[in-house]
Amino acid sequence: MSEKKKFLLRLDAELYDALEKWAADDLRSVNAEMEFLLKEAARKAGRLKSAGRPAQDPAASAPMGGAD
């Protein structure tokens, strides 16, 4: 496993409370929940490639328009 970067992050109290509840629902720490959410968002945006789980955006694979 690669070394993890450490940095300070400031969040407003309402957002932190929402993350804390979300993390509890998923049986994760707030830190683990934030890392999970950020990784998923990066994968969906095509900015993070993961072995065995290519980044896919359902909208990107949708047809561009039908023939009239």
pLDDT, one tens digit per residue, over 2-21 is 799 999 999 999 999 999 99
Residue-wise over 34-44: b if at least 16 C-beta within 10 A, else e? beeeeeeeebe
**Residue 42 forms part of a structural domain:** yes
Count structural domains, the chain. Answer: 1
**Residue 53 forms part of a structural domain:** no
Eight-class DSSP state of 26: T
pLDDT, one tens digit per residue, over 39-68 is 999 999 999 987 555 445 455 444 555 554
* Parent domain of 40: 11-47
Q: Is residue 55 a contact partner of residue 47, using CB atoms and an 8 Å limit?
A: yes
The pTM (predicted TM-score) of the whole model is 0.67
**Residue 57 forms part of a structural domain:** no
**Residue 26 forms part of a structural domain:** yes
| Rounded-to-integer distance, Cα 52 and Cα 30, Å | 26
**Residue 29 forms part of a structural domain:** yes
